[in-house]
Amino acid sequence: MNNFRYFPNSKKDIAKLYRVLGVKDKKELFGKILGGIPLMDAALLTTVPKESDEEALYRFFLNIDSNIPAKNKTAVFAGGGIYNHFVPSAIDSLISRSEFYTPYTPYQPEVSQGTLFALFEFQSFIAEILGMDVVNASMYDGAESLAEAVLMAMRLSPANRDLPVSRKDDIIIISEGVNPSYTSVIKTFAGGTGVKIGKVKLNTQTGQTDIMDLKQKLANGGGRAPAVVVQQPNYFGIIEDLEELERLIHSNSNSGYNPSFIVSSTEPYSFGVINPPGFYNADIFAGEGNSFGNYMNFGGPLLGLFAAKKEYVRQMPGRIVGKTKDGKDRDAYAFILSTREQHIRRGAATSNICTNSSLNAVRAAIYLSLCSKSGFKEIASLNLKLAHILRDRLLSSGLFEPLYEGDFFNEFSLKLKINGNKHNNMAASEFIEKMAERDIIAGIAVSESAVLISATENNRLSDIEKYAENAKEVLNA
């Protein structure tokens, strides 16, 4: 039998290795190592398929690819945390360079300047977009990033940490405008500390976080709120009034608790049109960056963005690239402030994160470079306009009604009416499935009868027309 193609040692080489080690064969080798643990014969494992040649393997996956919704004929209007943006070819071409995708984390800066410099540019671009001081070199995804932001806020409040703090009376205040999956991930991460989660309602008219309710929640917590979390634009697509929220949250300091104003986002493309969190004195930003040059990939890998004010940098999770010099005074880049991290601090680290979304971050850096200053703004503006045209078109059919009236960027929610009768609702999930049969991914269900719909520069006016016409047929059926 010939050697498998991924193994560069020939049978002869392998025989040499055994000879040098003075061991006869695999059985003896593993026998000596494992003691009493049995050696398994993988060739007998029926759960593992037989080997596949490259061509057969490709055909197998090609067949899978041709049996799912086809990019070239499916109009995607689903968002809800991940968006269907255009990805220029230059990104795929650059990122397929082995020098980017096959190295490890740049622990040896002298031979990793390419990745480090690209990540430094990533940090620079994201800091610009968010209006924040310090951005790290990425987290796994928006939800995990947000959960880490909450944990960071808990390290910052209460300020006086001479004694271990019981978190039983603490409350993390989260707007109902935060993506519910993100809130679930926060619970997974922070749940162990005993901290409670308090939810703030949305204003039923505007869909913005309800200021009166937030006021009450802050008061109810007895002042023990390490963090208030909102999302911009929120889960239902509505633009929050960060100015008003900030004023309330930052005036609420109480017995060592200065609630961190945490802003999340699943669509930071919005900050090409609307003011970013940094302009409103946000303490921490934690959200999703997949919209910048990354594919949807059925939900992952994603790109967690994490940013904070400079004064909190030592409490930040994750890796940060800094600019420095080498011995000859040439510009050089390296990871900095590593004493926050697990490989140095072990149990006392700010986070356990090690591997993150480095390659996705490099993709984002390339993407934002390609967009450039004017293109970024123009695409953001295009998103805003397409979404408004789509919403107007759908509302004019009389088959939908708005869930909320607040301003939005590229995503909005509508309730469905059958035959224009608002008391005769079609289940949102049924609508979506019926539309999917017509090659339209119409959105995602956010309630029994409401659909969350997004539009991006990957949707044409003709797609919008197609959506409206098919919706009419589906809802009038």
Partner 1 sequence: MPKFPGIKGIFLDEDPLIEQGSKRLRGIGIPDCGLKKSDLKKDESAYIDAKYIRKSPPELPEVSEPTVVRHFTRLSSWNMCVDTVFYPLGSCTMKYNPKINEKIASLENIKNLHPLTPAGLIQPVLKIVYDFNEILCGLTGLAEFGFAPQAGAAGEFAGLKIIKKYFDLKGENRKTILVPDSSHGTNPASSVLAGFTPVEIKTGKAGTLDAEELKKFVSKDAAGIMITNPNTFGVFEKDIKKIAEIMHNNGSFVYMDGANFNAFLGSVKVSDMGIDLIQLNLHKTFSTPHGGGGPGNGAIGVVESLREFLPVPYVKVGGKSTGVEKDSGEKADGGNKSNNRKDNSYSRQVYELSEDKKNSIGRMTPFLCNFAVVLRAYAYLLSLGRENIGSVSEIAVLNANYVKKKLGKILSGSDPFEEGLCMHECVFSDKAIEENGVSTIELAKLLIDYGFHPPTVYFPKNIHGAIMIEPTETESVRTLDNFIKAVKEIKFKTKKSKAVKSPQKTKVGRVNEVLANKQPVFKY
Q: Taking CB under 8 A as the criterion, which residues in 197-216 touch partner 1?
A: none
Chain centre to alpha carbon of residue 86: 17
- The angle that helices 142-156 and 180-190 make with each other, rounded to 10 degrees, is 50
Tell me the two tokens of residue 33: 């190592």
Choice between 160 and 355, CB closer to partner 1: 355
CB nearer to partner 1: pick between 184 and 421? 184
d(CA 153, CA 306): 13
Q: Does 178 bind partner 1 (CB under 8 A)?
A: no
Binders in 237-276 for partner 1, by CB under 8 A: 239, 243, 266, 271-276
Q: Which is nearer to partner 1, 223 or 375 (CB)?
A: 375
The three-class DSSP label of residue 335 is strand
Q: How far is the CB of 421 from partner 1 (least distance, A)?
A: 25
| Bridge partners, residue 202, by sequence | 209
Pick the closest to residue 452 from 406, 391, 392 (CA basis).
391
Q: Give whichever of 301 and 402 is closer to partner 1, judged by the CB atom.
A: 301
Nearest to 277, CA basis, from 253, 237, 309, 313: 309
Contact between 381 and 273 (Cβ < 8 Å): yes
Q: Which is nearer to partner 1, 313 or 418 (CB)?
A: 313
Min dist. Cβ of residue 117 to partner 1 (A): 5
Contact stretch for partner 1 (CB under 8 A) within 31-39, 216-224, 412-420, 469-477: 31-39
* Residue 254 one-letter amino acid: N
Give the strands of the sheet with 134-135, arranged side by side: 134-135, 304-308, 284-288, 260-264, 227-231, 171-175, 196-200
Question: In the range 383-412, which residues lie near partner 1 by CB under 8 A?
Answer: 384-386, 388-389, 407-409
Contact window for partner 1 (CB under 8 A) among 22-30, 197-205, 246-254, 396-404: 22-30
Nearer to partner 1, 348 or 477 (CB): 348
Answer yes or no whether residue 30 interacts with partner 1 by CB under 8 A: yes
The angle formed by the CA atoms of residues 158, 154 and 216, to the nearest 5 degrees, is: 75
* Closest listed residue to residue 269, CA positions, set 284, 242, 290, 245: 290
Interface with partner 1, residue 36, by CB under 8 A = yes
Among 222, 256, 299, 398, binds partner 1 (CB under 8 A): 299
Beta-bridge partner residues of 228:
173, 261
Instruction: Tell me how far, at minimum, the Cβ of 61 lies from partner 1, in Å.
Output: 5
Tell me which of 161, 168, 215, 460 binds partner 1, using CB under 8 A. 460
In the complex, least distance from residue 254 CB atom to partner 1, rounded to whole angstroms: 26
Q: What is the DSSP letter of 451?
A: E
Sign of CA dihedral 58, 60, 61, 65: positive
What's 202's DSSP letter?
B
CB of 160 to partner 1, least distance (A): 21
In angstroms, rounded to a whole number, what is the distance separating the alpha carbons of residues 94 and 238? 36
Q: Is 413 in the site for partner 1 (CB under 8 A)?
A: no
Q: Least Å distance between CB 418 and partner 1?
A: 20
Give the shortest CB-39-to-partner 1 separation in angstroms: 6
Name residues contacting partner 1, limited to 323-382 (CB under 8 A): 323-328, 330-334, 336-337, 341-349, 351-360, 362, 365-366, 368-379, 381-382
